[in-house]
């Protein structure tokens, strides 16, 4: 079944193609000079992702929206030259993204994890765990709290967190009629926030690597209590679950889920069809728990291996120096082999059945792989247009005379940059070195500003439809991607507003023991106000229906 918006999306694609075809041929730099597009380092560098995001939110169709954004980026880079646009989009963009070793490692991890999920389904472990959870977890609140707790526990890497928590808790949340959108929100709002405040994680390694000429790990530890967005978001998720507060589009999804409609759109049904494998009748709950433990241990060891732990490096330094992409790939492949052997020993899966799960897992991850590929390509377009240089120059020019307001300003700039580019780590790489250079004489302000940069990056990442973590959360929950973005956006913006106020206060008070409790208290009051407003609106709606 085609959605009504598909016709609009096709018209946009045709228009974009005509624009490319109609562009006049221009001359590129000759004589071996490095080519620099006319729009390099200007606001136009941020236009392609903005176009993609706006189209995705309007059309509810992410693939064509991302592609149009990519074409716009190619046009800007090539100065509207047809051949240059075509080569830049295909060669530098799509092929370049898929040939990047980091990206390939993430795709390998995605496919292997899809295969592991298919194995758990075929073994009957997922169904058995669902039955066990149904008997022991009696309420929707208990189910959501269990999902929240698991998201907190898996703090090593956000990709691993998103997909593991989704595969483990999805059968349980389905049993208790928790919407896929709510599951995706809980996953997304625990993955990056817990990783950005966990000293032993791939995110800690990334941040420490971006602090030039200093002990990056010590600075990361000092920045944890100043990371208001991460801490506020974790508190917000807990309060929303315990106080049963849902607002915005999420409320509609939750009301529909209570009535039994977990699949709000066809794309979620497509995810479900990819995983419909009949489970073995002798499967037990342990057949899900053991593979998950194997996967966690193997991926942790894989990351330690890439950090040199087995060559004598300490565990903290090994995690700090690890390559998450390679570590997760190596660990997940090793885990897949062990899990297949485990199931064969349990005699609930044959060798052929185990091998059949590999293409099934690949099929389940195709939507996420396509979106990730387009998102990476779009990022390549913004990089080639000098988006980083534009933002860096804007930050340096605004620093003078705004010292006390700078943490709040950095938070907003990081939010916007991560939202437009879809990358937290790229935002770290752009802003953290600038912050360190600006505040070499004021250590407290430097720590606050680094935290504001990290917090803003995670916030923008949460709001952006082209963020890889957001895409992973949708894949883990098997939720329609645009549904996840639309339902999470009001929650993320609420946490962002509270965090912004916290950084405004911090710029003047500069005492974390005052600023952090005050910011968390503001978050608590905001949730109370939202609950009262939602309840009043629901009562008013009920009265209108009764009068009608």
CA separation (Å) from 73 to 358, 371, 388, 389, 395? Answer: 36, 17, 15, 16, 23
H/E segment holding residue 428: helix 424-438
Predicted pLDDT at 215: 58
Predicted pLDDT at 546: 61
Cβ pair 46, 379 in contact under 8 A: no
The token pair at 483 is 């549904």
- HEC profile of 61-73: CHHHHHHHHHHHH
Cβ pair 464, 186 in contact under 8 A: no
Cβ pair 176, 139 in contact under 8 A: yes
Distance CA 37, CA 12 (A): 25
How many beta carbons lie within 10 A of that of residue 91, not counting itself?
11
Predicted pLDDT at 182: 93
Angle between helical axes of 140-153 and 180-195 (0-180°, round to 10): 30
* Tokens 């990351």, located at residue: 303
Displacement of CA 459 from its chain's centroid (Å): 10
The token pair at 463 is 């709001």
- pLDDT per residue, tens digit, the chain (548 aa), is 334 445 544 554 544 444 444 444 333 444 446 778 888 888 888 888 888 878 877 876 777 888 898 999 999 998 888 888 889 999 988 998 888 887 888 788 878 878 887 888 788 887 777 677 777 888 889 999 989 988 888 776 677 778 778 877 888 888 888 999 999 999 999 988 998 888 766 566 666 656 655 556 678 788 899 999 999 999 999 999 999 999 989 998 888 888 776 665 554 444 444 444 455 667 787 887 888 888 888 888 888 888 888 888 887 777 767 777 788 888 889 999 999 999 999 888 889 988 988 888 888 778 778 877 887 888 888 888 887 777 767 666 655 556 678 889 889 988 988 888 777 776 776 777 777 767 767 788 888 988 998 999 899 988 888 888 888 888 888 888 889 999 999 999 999 999 999 999 998 888 999 999 999 999 999 999 999 988 887 776 666 666 65
What pTM did the predictor assign?
Answer: 0.71
Phi then psi for residue 399, to 5 deg, are -70, -35
The Cα angle at residue 125 between residues 121 and 126, in degrees rounded to 5: 60
pLDDT in tens, 450-482: 899 899 989 998 888 888 888 888 888 888 888
468 burial via Cβ count (<10 Å: 0-12, 13-18, 19+): buried
Predicted pLDDT at 185: 94
């Amino acid at each position: 079944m085609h959605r009504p918006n598909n016709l609009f999306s096709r018209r946009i694609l045709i228009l974009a193609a005509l624009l490319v075809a109609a562009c006049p041929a221009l001359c590129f730099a000759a004589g071996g000079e490095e080519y620099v597009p006319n729009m390099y380092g200007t606001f136009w560098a941020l236009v392609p992702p903005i176009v993609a995001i706006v189209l995705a939110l309007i059309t509810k169709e992410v693939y064509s929206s991302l592609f149009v954004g990519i074409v716009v980026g190619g046009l800007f880079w090539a100065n509207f030259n047809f051949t240059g646009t075509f080569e830049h989009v295909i060669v530098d963009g799509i092929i370049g993204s898929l040939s990047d070793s980091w990206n390939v490692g993430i795709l390998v991890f995605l496919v292997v994890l899809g295969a592991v999920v298919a194995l758990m389904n075929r073994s009957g472990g997922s169904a058995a765990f669902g039955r066990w959870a149904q008997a022991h977890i009696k309420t929707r609140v208990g189910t959501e709290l269990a999902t929240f707790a698991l998201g907190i526990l898996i703090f090593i890497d956000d990709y691993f967190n998103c997909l593991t928590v989704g595969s483990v808790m999805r059968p349980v949340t389905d049993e208790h009629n928790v919407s896929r959108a709510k599951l995706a929100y809980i996953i997304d709002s625990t993955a990056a926030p817990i990783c950005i405040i966990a000293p032993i994680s791939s995110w800690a390694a990334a941040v420490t690597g971006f602090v030039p000429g200093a002990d990056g790990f010590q600075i990361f530890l000092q920045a944890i209590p100043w990371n208001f967005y991460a801490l506020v978001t974790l508190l917000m998720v807990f309060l929303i679950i315990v106080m049963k507060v849902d607002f915005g589009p999420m409320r509609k999804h939750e009301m529909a889920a209570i009535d039994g409609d977990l699949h709000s759109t066809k794309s979620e049904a497509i995810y479900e069809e990819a995983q419909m494998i009949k489970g073995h009748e002798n499967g037990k709950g342990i057949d899900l728990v053991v593979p998950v433990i194997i996967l966690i241990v193997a991926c942790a060891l894989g990351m330690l291996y890439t950090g040199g732990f087995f060559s004598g490096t300490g565990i903290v330094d090994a995690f700090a120096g690890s390559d998450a992409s390679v570590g997760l790939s190596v660990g997940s492949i090793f885990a897949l082999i062990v899990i297949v052997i485990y199931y064969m020993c349990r005699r609930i899966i044959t060798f052929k059945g185990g091998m059949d799960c590999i293409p099934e897992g690949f099929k389940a991850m195709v939507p996420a792989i396509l979106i990730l590929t387009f998102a990476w390509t779009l990022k390549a377009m913004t990089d080639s247009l000098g988006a980083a240089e534009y933002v860096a120059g804007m930050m340096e020019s605004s620093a003078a005379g705004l010292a006390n307001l700078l943490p709040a300003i950095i938070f907003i700039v990081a939010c916007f940059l991560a939202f437009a580019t879809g990358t937290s780590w790229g935002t770290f790489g752009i802003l953290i070195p600038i912050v360190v250079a600006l505040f070499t004489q004021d250590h407290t302000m430097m720590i606050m500003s680094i935290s504001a940069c990290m917090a803003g990056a995670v916030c923008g990442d949460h709001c952006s439809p082209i963020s890889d973590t957001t895409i992973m959360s949708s894949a883990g929950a098997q939720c329609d991607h645009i549904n996840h973005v639309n339902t999470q956006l009001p929650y993320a913006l609420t946490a962002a507003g509270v965090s912004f106020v916290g950084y405004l206060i911090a710029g003047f008070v500069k005492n974390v023991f005052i600023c952090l409790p005050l910011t968390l208290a503001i978050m608590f009051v905001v949730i109370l106000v939202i609950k009262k407003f939602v309840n009043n609106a629901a009562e008013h709606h009920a009265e209108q229906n009764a009068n009608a």
